Amino acid sequence: MTPAWILRLERRFGSFAVEDLSLFIVVMNAAVWALSLLKPEFPAMLTLLPDLLLRGQVWRAFTFLFVPPPASPLWMLIWLYMLYVIAGSLEREWGSFRFNLFYALGALSLLAASLAFGVGLPNTALNMSLFLAFAAVHPEMEILLFFVLPVKVRWLALAAWVWTAWMLLAGDGYTRLTVVSSLVNYALFFGLEHFQTLRSRIRTWLWERRNR
């Protein structure tokens, strides 16, 4: 169920959507990783650091989105492939505008939190929000974990939510800020739907208890 405010925005601004944004994200991550092999200090020039951003290095407000996690070549290829599958599937399911909006909201919330609290924030949890959205849209889809073990996306999402909850409970202030700010987009897209589902289940449970 798509929130009404998203539908209104899509009707008004849908023609301005960037086509194939998901592919662009993957290609840019791959490019940054490839360049980091030649120049290891290169990713540090792209990360989101508010002090340097406010000193004129404005590109950091954009380029931090394309800094991939540190990994060996094999794991990087696997990570890029999964990012391509997840982001591409969302863009095909939602259309370019809604995918643009979801990604932009996540990026802007990270940027705003970074500037407000004066700390650098990574894009890790933003990429996690893409997976959580993918799982919400395709919970029954099976993927081959490590290219061998078939697992439904819903169970991987459950593990991701458990990890997220643990980070919020046991993490320090920096970790909590990173997680919360990068889930703003998910909350805006799916929060009302989840709330209505939870309310319906509670009502059903209460009705069943009264009628036992």
Residue type, 175: T
Kindly report the average pLDDT of the chain as a whole number. Answer: 86
What pLDDT does residue 21 have? 93
User: Does the pLDDT at position 65 exceed 90?
Assistant: yes
Each residue of 145-200: pLDDT tens digit? 666 677 788 888 888 888 888 888 887 888 888 888 888 898 898 877 766 766 77
Question: How many structural domains are present in the chain?
Answer: 1
Q: What is the CATH number of the domain that holds 136?
A: 1.20.1540
Which residue in 148, 10, 48, 32 sits closest to 83, CA to CA? 32
Each residue of 122-131: pLDDT tens digit? 888 888 899 8
User: Does the pLDDT at position 144 exceed 70?
Assistant: no
Each residue of 68-98: pLDDT tens digit? 988 888 889 988 988 999 999 999 999 999 9
Domain membership of residue 58 as a residue range:
4-210
CA distances from 167 to 65, 68, 101, 173, 191 (A): 21, 20, 26, 10, 20
Each residue of 160-169: pLDDT tens digit? 888 888 888 8
User: Does the pLDDT at position 212 exceed 80?
Assistant: no
Q: What percent of the chain has pLDDT over 70?
A: 92
pTM of the predicted structure, to 2 decimals? 0.88
Which residue in 174, 94, 104, 78 sits closest to 134, CA to CA? 94
Residue type, 55: R
